[in-house]
Amino acid sequence: MDFGYTKEEEDFREKLCSFLDKELTEEIARQNWEDKGVGPEAREFSRKLAANGFLGMSWPKEYGGQGLPPTFDFILLDELGKRWGAHIPLDVGYTMVANTILRRGSEKMKREFLPRIIGGEIEFCLGYTEPNAGSDLASMKMRAVEEGDDFLITGQKTFNTEAHYSEYHWLAARTDFNPNIPKHRGISLFIVDMNSPGITVRPLITMSGERTNEVFYENVRVPKDRLVGEKNKGFYYMMEAIDSERNHVFTPGRLLPIL
């Protein structure tokens, strides 16, 4: 059995490598959530990836993708990883959010967000961890209460690394407060504009000098059409998103420079 690339895949890889050799610098490679944070150079690089047809290869054509096999996505991630361990710069949106929207989002949500993610235009920050709910995400306390056409959200998140430069918050909050149900069954997932009234972002500087953030919500109104999938199913969607992240971010090519 031949496990190599097809001619079409190899042609794509060669085109991609030529592009990366010309456009990707070490500075751009370091502009990600693990290191320096995304700056204007990485955003411009994301737009160039999109303009040259390297993003969203396996995504449906109706949302701006190309409908190709997922092998093409792997080639992109693998070749990036071989160069300074690079990511797709706006990778939370690309590797976690988009794949969850494809599976769970409404048609309106897919058409609103997926083309802009493929276009390298927007980024998301993860709103999972709270001061007393880190590895035990089911213990989160942030509240989202229905009020008319909106959810009214109040509470605090912490270690939200990309919150100071992302356009949207991929936010988990409690929507069922019945103490007699398992905690993980009362959580919902939302897409929140980071410029919404009532959101405050405060820096947290790590021991190594990198910035992460605390994020505070004070009666923030979020339209109901920004609820991802079904109410109270958010914990399951978070697990899917994390699984997608593992498949997309931690690629073998990133290990080659240290072998």
At 94-129, the pLDDT tens digits run: 988 999 999 999 999 999 999 999 999 999 999 999
The CATH architecture that domain 124-232 belongs to is: Beta Barrel (2.40)
Q: Are 190 and 226 within 8 A, CB to CB?
A: yes
> Domain ranges in the chain?
7-122+245-258, 124-232
Task: Select from 1.10.540.10, 3.30.230.70, 3.40.50.720, 1.10.1740.10 the CATH code of 7-122+245-258.
Answer: 1.10.540.10
CA torsion sign for 228, 233, 239, 244 is: negative
How much is the pTM? 0.91
Residue 198: predicted pLDDT: 98
CB distance 198 to 246 below 8 Å:
no
- pLDDT for 172 equals 97
Q: HSE on the CB side for 110, CA within 13 Å?
A: 17
In the prediction, which pLDDT does 235 show?
93
Model pLDDT, residue 1? 58
**Average pLDDT over every residue of 78-84:** 90
The pLDDT tens digits for 19-43 are: 999 999 999 999 988 888 899 999 9
- Average predicted confidence (pLDDT) for the chain: 91
Amino acid in position 172: A
Tell me the per-residue pLDDT of 164-191, one tens digit each, with 9 for 90 and over: 999 999 999 999 999 999 999 999 999 9
Active site residues: 245
Alpha-carbon distance 148 to 224, whole Å?
A: 9
